[in-house]
Amino acid sequence: AQTVTQSQPEMSVQEAETVTLSCTYDTSENNYYLFWYKQPPSRQMILVIRQEAYKQQNATENRFSVNFQKAAKSFSLKISDSQLGDTAMYFCAFMNFGNDMRFGAGTRLTVKP
């Protein structure tokens, strides 16, 4: 079964600085999708960014970008110019071409003013 590991339970960053959240996964499949979700205190799950494994180019969405290393099975999230509103839990998720979505345990990010 696929597993997703987020090794940083908590992280903090100063406002306007850059932070990188780590994620590794284990799979024997060649085609799959990877996601980063944000969960603010409101509890709502919000998609931040997605990556298709067959695409070599790293995905970017405004201040959010990923470093996708397929051979190393690594999928880190970089947040640039951190804002107070980025304070949240961040979950890395893996989905194969079927319907089995697996989430990591999450990283609690605090942006300090």
Partner 1 sequence: NAGVTQTPKFQVLKTGQSMTLQCAQDMNHEYMSWYRQDPGMGLRLIHYSVGAGITDQGEVPNGYNVSRSTTEDFPLRLLSAAPSQTSVYFCASSYSLQGSYNEQFFGPGTRLTVL
Among 14, 16, 97, 112, binds partner 1 (CB under 8 A): 97
Quickly count: other Cβ atoms within 10 Å of residue 109's Cβ: 21
Q: Does 43 bind partner 1 (CB under 8 A)?
A: yes
Among 4, 56, 67, 76, binds partner 1 (CB under 8 A): 4
| Radius of gyration from C-alpha coordinates of the chain | 13
Q: What six digits make up the tokens of 88?
A: 């949240």
Q: What six digits make up the tokens of 82?
A: 């951190």
Q: What six digits make up the tokens of 48?
A: 């931040």
Among 30, 54, 101, 112, binds partner 1 (CB under 8 A): 101
* Candidate ranges 13-21, 58-66, 79-87, 100-108; the one touching partner 1 (CB under 8 A): 100-108
Phi, psi of 81, rounded to the nearest 5 degrees: 50, 55
Binding site for partner 1 (CB under 8 A): 1, 4, 9, 33, 42-45, 47, 50, 91, 93, 95, 97-106
